[in-house]
Amino acid sequence: MATAETVLEHEVHEYDSKDAWSGGKEPFKTSYGKLMMWYFLLSDAFTFAGFLIAYGSLRFSSSTWPVPDFVFSTAPFGIHHAPLIFVTIMSFLLIISSVTMVRAVQEGHRENKNGVVFWMLLTVLGGLGFLSCQAWEWTNLMGAEHMSVTTNPFGTHTSDGVYLEDEHGHAYKEGKKPEAFKARGSYLIHKHENEATGKEEWVQRKVKYSDGTLGVQELGPPAFGALFFFITGFHGFHVLSGVVFLLIIAINSGSGIYAARRNGYEMVEKIGLYWHFVDLVWVFVFLVFYLL
Amino acid sequence: MGHLSYEASIKAVYRGLILLGFVTLIEVFISLLAKGHVIKGAEQYKVILYTAGLVMIGLSLYKAYFIVYDFMHMRYEVKGLAMSVLLPTLLLVWAIIAFFQEGGSWKARRDQIKEKNAEEVDGKTQGGLSLRNDVYVLPEWRG
Protein backbone atom coordinates (compact mmCIF):
# COMPACT_ATOMS: atom_id res chain seq x y z
CA MET A 1 0.00 0.00 0.00
CA ALA A 2 1.56 3.25 -1.05
CA THR A 3 1.22 5.89 1.62
CA ALA A 4 2.26 9.45 0.95
CA GLU A 5 5.54 8.80 2.75
CA THR A 6 6.61 5.84 0.70
CA VAL A 7 5.84 7.68 -2.52
CA LEU A 8 8.02 10.55 -1.38
CA GLU A 9 10.82 8.19 -0.40
CA HIS A 10 10.60 6.49 -3.73
CA GLU A 11 10.91 9.78 -5.60
CA VAL A 12 13.87 10.95 -3.57
CA HIS A 13 15.58 7.62 -4.10
CA GLU A 14 15.06 7.76 -7.81
CA TYR A 15 16.32 11.32 -8.02
CA ASP A 16 19.53 10.38 -6.25
CA SER A 17 20.32 7.21 -8.10
CA LYS A 18 19.27 7.87 -11.65
CA ASP A 19 17.69 11.11 -12.75
CA ALA A 20 20.28 13.55 -11.50
CA TRP A 21 23.07 11.61 -13.20
CA SER A 22 21.32 10.48 -16.32
CA GLY A 23 21.71 13.78 -18.14
CA GLY A 24 19.15 16.16 -19.48
CA LYS A 25 19.09 18.26 -16.30
CA GLU A 26 20.97 21.53 -16.44
CA PRO A 27 22.81 22.44 -13.27
CA PHE A 28 21.99 25.99 -12.16
CA LYS A 29 19.24 26.03 -14.81
CA THR A 30 21.62 27.33 -17.46
CA SER A 31 23.27 25.78 -20.49
CA TYR A 32 26.68 24.16 -20.37
CA GLY A 33 28.19 26.86 -22.59
CA LYS A 34 27.01 29.77 -20.50
CA LEU A 35 28.03 28.13 -17.22
CA MET A 36 31.51 27.41 -18.55
CA MET A 37 31.81 30.97 -19.84
CA TRP A 38 31.08 32.20 -16.31
CA TYR A 39 33.78 29.93 -14.88
CA PHE A 40 36.27 30.93 -17.55
CA LEU A 41 35.61 34.58 -16.67
CA LEU A 42 36.05 33.75 -12.99
CA SER A 43 39.47 32.25 -13.67
CA ASP A 44 40.35 35.22 -15.87
CA ALA A 45 39.37 37.54 -13.02
CA PHE A 46 41.93 35.73 -10.85
CA THR A 47 44.64 36.31 -13.46
CA PHE A 48 43.88 40.01 -13.65
CA ALA A 49 43.69 40.22 -9.87
CA GLY A 50 47.18 38.69 -9.73
CA PHE A 51 48.47 41.48 -11.97
CA LEU A 52 46.71 44.21 -10.03
CA ILE A 53 47.90 42.78 -6.70
CA ALA A 54 51.49 42.88 -8.02
CA TYR A 55 50.95 46.51 -9.02
CA GLY A 56 49.44 47.44 -5.66
CA SER A 57 52.01 45.73 -3.46
CA LEU A 58 54.96 47.14 -5.46
CA ARG A 59 53.44 50.60 -5.36
CA PHE A 60 52.84 50.36 -1.60
CA SER A 61 56.42 49.17 -1.05
CA SER A 62 58.05 52.06 -2.95
CA SER A 63 58.80 55.37 -1.33
CA THR A 64 57.90 57.22 -4.54
CA TRP A 65 55.56 56.32 -7.37
CA PRO A 66 54.67 58.18 -10.58
CA VAL A 67 51.52 60.26 -10.20
CA PRO A 68 49.06 58.98 -12.84
CA ASP A 69 47.45 62.30 -13.68
CA PHE A 70 50.94 63.60 -14.55
CA VAL A 71 51.92 60.51 -16.55
CA PHE A 72 48.65 60.34 -18.48
CA SER A 73 48.13 63.99 -19.31
CA THR A 74 48.72 64.03 -23.07
CA ALA A 75 46.20 63.42 -25.81
CA PRO A 76 46.43 63.33 -29.62
CA PHE A 77 46.49 66.53 -31.70
CA GLY A 78 49.16 68.11 -29.51
CA ILE A 79 47.08 68.34 -26.35
CA HIS A 80 49.20 68.51 -23.21
CA HIS A 81 48.37 69.10 -19.53
CA ALA A 82 44.97 67.46 -19.91
CA PRO A 83 45.11 64.97 -17.03
CA LEU A 84 43.08 61.78 -17.51
CA ILE A 85 40.97 63.25 -20.31
CA PHE A 86 42.13 60.86 -23.03
CA VAL A 87 41.76 57.79 -20.85
CA THR A 88 38.27 58.89 -19.83
CA ILE A 89 37.33 58.92 -23.52
CA MET A 90 38.73 55.36 -23.77
CA SER A 91 36.57 54.30 -20.81
CA PHE A 92 33.48 55.77 -22.47
CA LEU A 93 34.21 53.85 -25.67
CA LEU A 94 34.17 50.59 -23.71
CA ILE A 95 31.02 51.52 -21.77
CA ILE A 96 29.19 52.42 -24.98
CA SER A 97 30.31 49.21 -26.70
CA SER A 98 29.03 47.27 -23.68
CA VAL A 99 25.64 48.92 -24.11
CA THR A 100 25.49 48.10 -27.84
CA MET A 101 26.37 44.50 -26.90
CA VAL A 102 23.38 44.34 -24.54
CA ARG A 103 21.23 45.58 -27.43
CA ALA A 104 22.60 42.80 -29.69
CA VAL A 105 21.69 40.17 -27.07
CA GLN A 106 18.18 41.64 -26.76
CA GLU A 107 17.67 41.49 -30.53
CA GLY A 108 18.91 37.89 -30.38
CA HIS A 109 16.09 37.03 -27.98
CA ARG A 110 13.64 38.45 -30.52
CA GLU A 111 15.32 36.38 -33.25
CA ASN A 112 15.91 39.60 -35.19
CA LYS A 113 18.89 38.67 -37.36
CA ASN A 114 19.57 42.12 -38.82
CA GLY A 115 19.30 43.74 -35.39
CA VAL A 116 21.89 41.34 -33.95
CA VAL A 117 24.35 41.99 -36.79
CA PHE A 118 23.85 45.78 -36.64
CA TRP A 119 24.45 46.10 -32.89
CA MET A 120 27.35 43.63 -32.93
CA LEU A 121 29.09 45.61 -35.65
CA LEU A 122 28.67 48.78 -33.58
CA THR A 123 30.25 46.89 -30.67
CA VAL A 124 33.17 45.93 -32.93
CA LEU A 125 33.60 49.60 -33.82
CA GLY A 126 33.71 50.52 -30.13
CA GLY A 127 36.35 47.85 -29.51
CA LEU A 128 38.45 48.98 -32.46
CA GLY A 129 38.18 52.59 -31.28
CA PHE A 130 39.46 51.57 -27.86
CA LEU A 131 42.36 49.63 -29.38
CA SER A 132 43.30 52.60 -31.58
CA CYS A 133 43.36 54.90 -28.56
CA GLN A 134 45.52 52.42 -26.69
CA ALA A 135 47.88 52.16 -29.68
CA TRP A 136 48.30 55.95 -29.61
CA GLU A 137 48.83 55.95 -25.84
CA TRP A 138 51.56 53.29 -26.09
CA THR A 139 53.24 54.97 -29.05
CA ASN A 140 53.37 58.25 -27.16
CA LEU A 141 54.72 56.65 -23.99
CA MET A 142 57.38 54.64 -25.82
CA GLY A 143 58.31 57.01 -28.63
CA ALA A 144 57.96 60.49 -27.16
CA GLU A 145 58.44 59.81 -23.45
CA HIS A 146 60.88 56.85 -23.68
CA MET A 147 59.12 54.60 -21.21
CA SER A 148 59.91 50.90 -21.60
CA VAL A 149 59.45 47.62 -19.76
CA THR A 150 62.72 48.23 -17.92
CA THR A 151 62.95 52.03 -17.66
CA ASN A 152 60.54 54.55 -16.24
CA PRO A 153 61.40 58.21 -16.86
CA PHE A 154 58.56 59.44 -14.60
CA GLY A 155 59.86 60.37 -11.17
CA THR A 156 58.67 62.10 -8.04
CA HIS A 157 60.61 64.50 -5.80
CA THR A 158 61.04 63.27 -2.25
CA SER A 159 61.67 66.69 -0.69
CA ASP A 160 61.63 70.39 -1.53
CA GLY A 161 64.59 71.93 -3.38
CA VAL A 162 65.87 73.85 -6.41
CA TYR A 163 67.32 72.85 -9.75
CA LEU A 164 70.95 73.75 -10.46
CA GLU A 165 70.59 73.25 -14.23
CA ASP A 166 68.05 74.10 -16.92
CA GLU A 167 65.97 71.50 -18.78
CA HIS A 168 68.79 70.75 -21.20
CA GLY A 169 71.26 69.97 -18.44
CA HIS A 170 73.28 73.20 -18.85
CA ALA A 171 74.26 75.39 -15.90
CA TYR A 172 71.95 78.38 -15.42
CA LYS A 173 73.05 81.65 -17.05
CA GLU A 174 74.17 84.46 -14.73
CA GLY A 175 71.31 86.20 -12.94
CA LYS A 176 68.71 83.58 -13.87
CA LYS A 177 66.50 82.53 -10.96
CA PRO A 178 66.74 78.73 -10.45
CA GLU A 179 63.57 76.70 -10.80
CA ALA A 180 62.22 75.35 -7.50
CA PHE A 181 60.29 72.14 -6.85
CA LYS A 182 58.20 70.77 -4.04
CA ALA A 183 58.12 67.36 -2.35
CA ARG A 184 55.84 64.91 -4.18
CA GLY A 185 56.09 67.01 -7.34
CA SER A 186 56.29 64.99 -10.55
CA TYR A 187 58.82 65.26 -13.34
CA LEU A 188 59.61 63.58 -16.63
CA ILE A 189 63.24 62.99 -17.55
CA HIS A 190 63.84 63.70 -21.23
CA LYS A 191 66.35 62.21 -23.59
CA HIS A 192 68.66 64.46 -25.57
CA GLU A 193 71.27 63.75 -28.16
CA ASN A 194 74.79 64.15 -26.84
CA GLU A 195 76.58 66.44 -29.31
CA ALA A 196 79.98 64.81 -28.75
CA THR A 197 79.00 61.16 -29.09
CA GLY A 198 75.76 61.47 -31.08
CA LYS A 199 74.04 59.12 -28.64
CA GLU A 200 70.69 59.68 -26.91
CA GLU A 201 71.22 60.29 -23.21
CA TRP A 202 68.98 60.93 -20.22
CA VAL A 203 69.15 64.51 -18.99
CA GLN A 204 69.20 64.06 -15.23
CA ARG A 205 69.30 67.61 -13.89
CA LYS A 206 71.45 68.41 -10.86
CA VAL A 207 69.41 69.45 -7.84
CA LYS A 208 69.96 70.89 -4.38
CA TYR A 209 67.52 69.76 -1.70
CA SER A 210 66.28 72.07 1.05
CA ASP A 211 68.50 70.33 3.64
CA GLY A 212 71.55 71.33 1.59
CA THR A 213 72.40 67.94 0.07
CA LEU A 214 73.13 67.71 -3.65
CA GLY A 215 71.79 65.13 -6.04
CA VAL A 216 70.40 64.43 -9.49
CA GLN A 217 66.88 63.80 -10.74
CA GLU A 218 66.53 60.06 -10.41
CA LEU A 219 64.57 57.85 -12.82
CA GLY A 220 61.34 56.57 -11.31
CA PRO A 221 60.72 53.01 -10.04
CA PRO A 222 61.41 50.74 -13.05
CA ALA A 223 58.57 48.35 -12.16
CA PHE A 224 56.08 50.99 -13.27
CA GLY A 225 56.84 50.54 -16.97
CA ALA A 226 56.70 46.74 -16.83
CA LEU A 227 53.44 46.74 -14.88
CA PHE A 228 51.85 49.31 -17.16
CA PHE A 229 52.70 47.53 -20.41
CA PHE A 230 51.85 44.07 -19.09
CA ILE A 231 48.53 44.96 -17.46
CA THR A 232 47.15 47.29 -20.14
CA GLY A 233 48.63 44.97 -22.77
CA PHE A 234 46.93 41.92 -21.30
CA HIS A 235 43.64 43.82 -21.20
CA GLY A 236 44.17 45.13 -24.73
CA PHE A 237 44.80 41.56 -25.89
CA HIS A 238 41.44 40.60 -24.38
CA VAL A 239 39.80 43.44 -26.30
CA LEU A 240 41.53 42.33 -29.51
CA SER A 241 40.45 38.70 -29.16
CA GLY A 242 36.97 39.93 -28.22
CA VAL A 243 36.81 41.94 -31.45
CA VAL A 244 37.86 38.87 -33.47
CA PHE A 245 35.20 36.66 -31.85
CA LEU A 246 32.55 39.37 -32.18
CA LEU A 247 33.29 39.55 -35.90
CA ILE A 248 33.10 35.76 -36.31
CA ILE A 249 29.80 35.58 -34.44
CA ALA A 250 28.39 38.59 -36.29
CA ILE A 251 29.21 36.88 -39.62
CA ASN A 252 27.65 33.63 -38.37
CA SER A 253 24.53 35.51 -37.28
CA GLY A 254 24.29 37.19 -40.65
CA SER A 255 24.61 33.86 -42.42
CA GLY A 256 21.56 32.55 -40.57
CA ILE A 257 23.30 29.69 -38.73
CA TYR A 258 21.83 30.65 -35.36
CA ALA A 259 18.29 31.01 -36.71
CA ALA A 260 18.40 27.28 -37.48
CA ARG A 261 19.83 26.29 -34.09
CA ARG A 262 17.76 24.89 -31.24
CA ASN A 263 19.33 27.26 -28.71
CA GLY A 264 18.94 30.21 -31.09
CA TYR A 265 21.29 33.13 -30.55
CA GLU A 266 22.93 31.78 -27.39
CA MET A 267 26.36 32.27 -28.99
CA VAL A 268 25.66 36.02 -28.98
CA GLU A 269 24.86 35.82 -25.27
CA LYS A 270 28.13 34.02 -24.56
CA ILE A 271 30.32 36.50 -26.42
CA GLY A 272 28.23 39.19 -24.69
CA LEU A 273 29.27 37.82 -21.29
CA TYR A 274 32.91 37.91 -22.38
CA TRP A 275 32.64 41.45 -23.74
CA HIS A 276 31.02 42.77 -20.55
CA PHE A 277 33.81 41.13 -18.59
CA VAL A 278 36.39 43.05 -20.65
CA ASP A 279 34.54 46.24 -19.72
CA LEU A 280 34.40 45.09 -16.09
CA VAL A 281 38.16 44.53 -15.95
CA TRP A 282 38.72 47.98 -17.43
CA VAL A 283 36.69 49.47 -14.55
CA PHE A 284 39.40 48.17 -12.21
CA VAL A 285 42.39 48.86 -14.47
CA PHE A 286 41.07 52.41 -14.81
CA LEU A 287 40.66 52.70 -11.04
CA VAL A 288 44.03 51.27 -10.07
CA PHE A 289 46.21 52.69 -12.84
CA TYR A 290 44.67 56.04 -13.62
CA LEU A 291 42.39 57.24 -10.82
CA LEU A 292 44.20 56.28 -7.61
CA MET B 1 15.33 37.52 -20.72
CA GLY B 2 11.63 37.78 -20.83
CA HIS B 3 11.39 39.48 -17.45
CA LEU B 4 10.71 42.88 -18.95
CA SER B 5 8.85 43.88 -22.07
CA TYR B 6 10.99 44.71 -25.09
CA GLU B 7 10.42 48.47 -24.78
CA ALA B 8 11.09 48.44 -21.03
CA SER B 9 14.33 46.51 -21.45
CA ILE B 10 15.60 48.93 -24.12
CA LYS B 11 14.85 51.80 -21.77
CA ALA B 12 16.72 49.99 -18.97
CA VAL B 13 19.80 49.65 -21.21
CA TYR B 14 20.02 53.37 -21.91
CA ARG B 15 19.41 54.16 -18.25
CA GLY B 16 22.40 51.88 -17.58
CA LEU B 17 24.52 53.80 -20.10
CA ILE B 18 23.71 57.13 -18.44
CA LEU B 19 24.35 55.68 -14.99
CA LEU B 20 27.77 54.18 -15.89
CA GLY B 21 28.83 57.34 -17.75
CA PHE B 22 27.76 59.56 -14.89
CA VAL B 23 29.56 57.47 -12.24
CA THR B 24 32.73 57.44 -14.39
CA LEU B 25 32.65 61.24 -14.71
CA ILE B 26 32.22 61.61 -10.94
CA GLU B 27 35.21 59.30 -10.40
CA VAL B 28 37.41 61.33 -12.75
CA PHE B 29 36.31 64.55 -11.04
CA ILE B 30 37.10 63.16 -7.57
CA SER B 31 40.49 61.92 -8.78
CA LEU B 32 41.38 65.34 -10.21
CA LEU B 33 40.11 67.03 -7.04
CA ALA B 34 42.29 64.85 -4.81
CA LYS B 35 45.37 65.51 -7.00
CA GLY B 36 44.88 69.28 -6.75
CA HIS B 37 43.69 70.04 -10.28
CA VAL B 38 40.36 71.50 -9.20
CA ILE B 39 41.40 73.25 -6.00
CA LYS B 40 45.09 74.16 -5.80
CA GLY B 41 46.90 72.63 -2.85
CA ALA B 42 44.32 69.92 -2.14
CA GLU B 43 46.97 67.26 -2.93
CA GLN B 44 48.92 68.23 0.19
CA TYR B 45 46.26 66.76 2.51
CA LYS B 46 46.50 63.02 3.08
CA VAL B 47 42.92 62.97 4.43
CA ILE B 48 41.55 64.15 1.07
CA LEU B 49 43.68 61.61 -0.81
CA TYR B 50 42.51 58.66 1.34
CA THR B 51 38.84 59.71 1.38
CA ALA B 52 38.85 60.19 -2.40
CA GLY B 53 40.51 56.77 -2.79
CA LEU B 54 37.84 55.05 -0.71
CA VAL B 55 34.99 56.83 -2.53
CA MET B 56 36.47 55.87 -5.94
CA ILE B 57 36.89 52.23 -4.87
CA GLY B 58 33.26 52.23 -3.70
CA LEU B 59 32.01 53.73 -6.98
CA SER B 60 34.04 51.24 -9.04
CA LEU B 61 32.61 48.34 -7.05
CA TYR B 62 29.15 49.74 -7.73
CA LYS B 63 29.91 49.87 -11.47
CA ALA B 64 31.15 46.27 -11.31
CA TYR B 65 27.96 45.20 -9.51
CA PHE B 66 25.83 46.96 -12.13
CA ILE B 67 27.67 45.38 -15.08
CA VAL B 68 27.51 41.88 -13.59
CA TYR B 69 23.91 42.04 -12.39
CA ASP B 70 22.27 44.01 -15.20
CA PHE B 71 24.39 43.68 -18.33
CA MET B 72 25.49 40.11 -17.67
CA HIS B 73 22.04 39.14 -16.30
CA MET B 74 23.37 37.65 -13.07
CA ARG B 75 20.16 39.00 -11.52
CA TYR B 76 18.15 36.37 -13.42
CA GLU B 77 20.42 33.38 -12.76
CA VAL B 78 19.71 30.97 -9.90
CA LYS B 79 21.34 31.72 -6.57
CA GLY B 80 23.74 28.78 -6.75
CA LEU B 81 25.32 30.05 -9.96
CA ALA B 82 25.66 33.58 -8.60
CA MET B 83 27.27 32.29 -5.39
CA SER B 84 29.66 29.92 -7.20
CA VAL B 85 31.02 32.92 -9.11
CA LEU B 86 30.84 35.62 -6.44
CA LEU B 87 32.13 33.75 -3.38
CA PRO B 88 35.52 32.85 -4.95
CA THR B 89 35.79 36.47 -6.03
CA LEU B 90 35.41 37.50 -2.40
CA LEU B 91 38.60 35.56 -1.63
CA LEU B 92 40.38 38.02 -3.90
CA VAL B 93 39.40 40.88 -1.61
CA TRP B 94 41.22 39.13 1.21
CA ALA B 95 44.25 38.50 -1.03
CA ILE B 96 44.35 42.14 -2.16
CA ILE B 97 44.24 43.49 1.40
CA ALA B 98 46.90 40.98 2.54
CA PHE B 99 49.31 41.81 -0.29
CA PHE B 100 48.91 45.58 0.11
CA GLN B 101 49.66 45.16 3.81
CA GLU B 102 52.77 43.18 2.84
CA GLY B 103 53.84 45.92 0.42
CA GLY B 104 53.38 48.53 3.12
CA SER B 105 55.58 46.57 5.51
CA TRP B 106 58.35 46.21 2.90
CA LYS B 107 58.36 49.97 2.65
CA ALA B 108 58.48 50.41 6.43
CA ARG B 109 61.42 47.99 6.60
CA ARG B 110 63.29 49.70 3.76
CA ASP B 111 62.81 53.11 5.36
CA GLN B 112 64.08 51.70 8.66
CA ILE B 113 67.21 50.32 6.99
CA LYS B 114 67.81 53.63 5.24
CA GLU B 115 67.46 55.46 8.55
CA LYS B 116 69.86 53.08 10.30
CA ASN B 117 72.39 53.42 7.48
CA ALA B 118 72.34 57.19 7.81
CA GLU B 119 73.01 57.09 11.57
CA GLU B 120 76.34 58.55 12.73
CA VAL B 121 78.73 56.00 14.16
CA ASP B 122 80.14 56.88 17.60
CA GLY B 123 83.06 55.58 19.71
CA LYS B 124 80.99 52.80 21.26
CA THR B 125 81.02 50.91 17.98
CA GLN B 126 82.80 47.59 17.81
CA GLY B 127 83.36 45.69 14.60
CA GLY B 128 80.50 47.40 12.84
CA LEU B 129 78.05 46.74 15.70
CA SER B 130 76.42 49.66 17.40
CA LEU B 131 76.14 48.63 21.07
CA ARG B 132 74.03 49.96 23.89
CA ASN B 133 75.70 51.69 26.84
CA ASP B 134 75.03 48.80 29.25
CA VAL B 135 76.65 46.20 27.02
CA TYR B 136 80.17 45.16 28.02
CA VAL B 137 82.41 43.87 25.22
CA LEU B 138 84.81 41.05 26.16
CA PRO B 139 88.47 41.76 25.37
CA GLU B 140 88.79 38.68 23.14
CA TRP B 141 86.06 40.01 20.92
CA ARG B 142 87.59 40.86 17.56
CA GLY B 143 84.40 41.57 15.69
Per-residue pLDDT of B6-26, as tens digits, reads 888 899 999 999 999 999 999
- Chain B interface test: which of A283, A288, A290 (most B C-beta within 10 Å): A283
Query: Which residue segment(s) compose the domain that B88 sits in?
Result: 6-118
Determine, for residues B103 and A38 on separate chains, whether the beta-carbon distance falls below 8 Å. Answer: no
In angstroms, what separates the C-alpha of B116 from chain A's closest C-alpha?
16
Determine, for residues A98 and B99 on separate chains, whether the beta-carbon distance falls below 8 Å. Answer: no
Comparing alpha-carbon positions, the chain A residue that sits nearest to B30 is A291
- On the question of pLDDT at B1 being above 50, the answer is no
Q: Which helix (H) or strand (E) holds B129?
A: strand B129-130
Would residue B14 count as lying in a domain?
yes
Determine, for residues A30 and B13 on separate chains, whether the beta-carbon distance falls below 8 Å. Answer: no
Provide, as residue numbers in chain B, all residues whose Cβ is less than 8 Å from the Cβ of A291: 27-28, 30-31, 56, 60
Looking at chain A, which runs of residues are DSSP E strands? 154-156, 161-163, 180-181, 186-188, 191-193, 200-202, 206-209, 214-216
Cα A225 from chain centroid (whole Å): 14
Determine, for residues B35 and A273 on separate chains, whether the beta-carbon distance falls below 8 Å. Answer: no
Provide, as residue numbers in chain A, all residues whose Cβ is less than 8 Å from the Cβ of B2: 109
Would residue B31 count as lying in a domain?
yes
The answer to whether residues A258 and A270 touch, using CB atoms and an 8 Å cutoff, is no
Nearest-by-Cβ selection for B17 from A27, A49, A99: A99
What local confidence, expressed as pLDDT, does residue A14 receive?
47
Determine, for residues A95 and B1 on separate chains, whether the beta-carbon distance falls below 8 Å. Answer: no
Interface membership of A2 toward B (CB under 8 Å): no
What does the pLDDT look like over A205-226, one tens digit per residue? 888 888 888 888 888 888 999 9
- On the question of pLDDT at B72 being above 80, the answer is yes
Comparing alpha-carbon positions, the chain B residue that sits nearest to A289 is B31
- On the question of pLDDT at B33 being above 70, the answer is yes
Would residue B129 count as lying in a domain?
no
Would residue B131 count as lying in a domain?
no
How much is the average pLDDT of B91-118?
Answer: 89
Nearest-by-Cβ selection for A102 from B60, B71, B81: B71
pTM over 0.90: no
What local confidence, expressed as pLDDT, does residue A94 receive?
95
Q: CA torsion A61→A66→A69→A74, rounded to 10°?
A: -150
How far is it, in rounded angstroms, from Cα A146 to Cα A142?
Answer: 5
Would residue B1 count as lying in a domain?
no
Provide, as residue numbers in chain B, all residues whose Cβ is less than 8 Å from the Cβ of A100: none
The answer to whether residues B31 and B38 touch, using CB atoms and an 8 Å cutoff, is no
Determine, for residues A110 and B6 on separate chains, whether the beta-carbon distance falls below 8 Å. Answer: yes
Would residue B15 count as lying in a domain?
yes
- Chain B interface test: which of A265, A273, A291 (most B C-beta within 10 Å): A291
Geometric angle at alpha carbon B17, from B14 and B23, rounded to 5°: 140
What local confidence, expressed as pLDDT, does residue A231 receive?
94
Determine, for residues B103 and A276 on separate chains, whether the beta-carbon distance falls below 8 Å. Answer: no
CB neighbour list of residue A132: distance below 8 Å, 6 or more residues apart: none
Determine, for residues A95 and B68 on separate chains, whether the beta-carbon distance falls below 8 Å. Answer: no
* Distances A155 to A81, A83, A219, A246, B106 between C-alpha atoms, Å: 17, 17, 6, 40, 20
Name the residue type at position A272.
G
What local confidence, expressed as pLDDT, does residue A133 receive?
95
Would residue B138 count as lying in a domain?
no
What local confidence, expressed as pLDDT, does residue B140 receive?
66
How far is it, in rounded angstroms, from Cα A262 to Cα A265?
Answer: 9
Determine, for residues A42 and B67 on separate chains, whether the beta-carbon distance falls below 8 Å. Answer: no
Nearest-by-Cβ selection for A30 from B20, B77, B88: B77
How much is the average pLDDT of B110-134?
Answer: 72
The CB-based long-range contact list for B29-34 (8 Å cut-off, 24+ gap) reads B30/A291, B30/B55, B30/B56, B30/B59, B31/A69, B31/A84, B31/A290, B31/A291, B31/A292, B31/B56, B32/A69, B32/A83, B32/A84
Interface membership of A67 toward B (CB under 8 Å): yes
In angstroms, what separates the C-alpha of B84 from chain A's closest C-alpha?
9
Domain total of chain B: 1
The answer to whether residues A100 and A243 touch, using CB atoms and an 8 Å cutoff, is no
Comparing alpha-carbon positions, the chain B residue that sits nearest to A183 is B44
Report residues of chain A scoring pLDDT below 70: 1-20
Sign of CA dihedral A278, A280, A282, A285: negative
Nearest-by-Cβ selection for B78 from A29, A61, A91: A29
Determine, for residues B17 and A35 on separate chains, whether the beta-carbon distance falls below 8 Å. Answer: no
Determine, for residues B43 and A184 on separate chains, whether the beta-carbon distance falls below 8 Å. Answer: yes
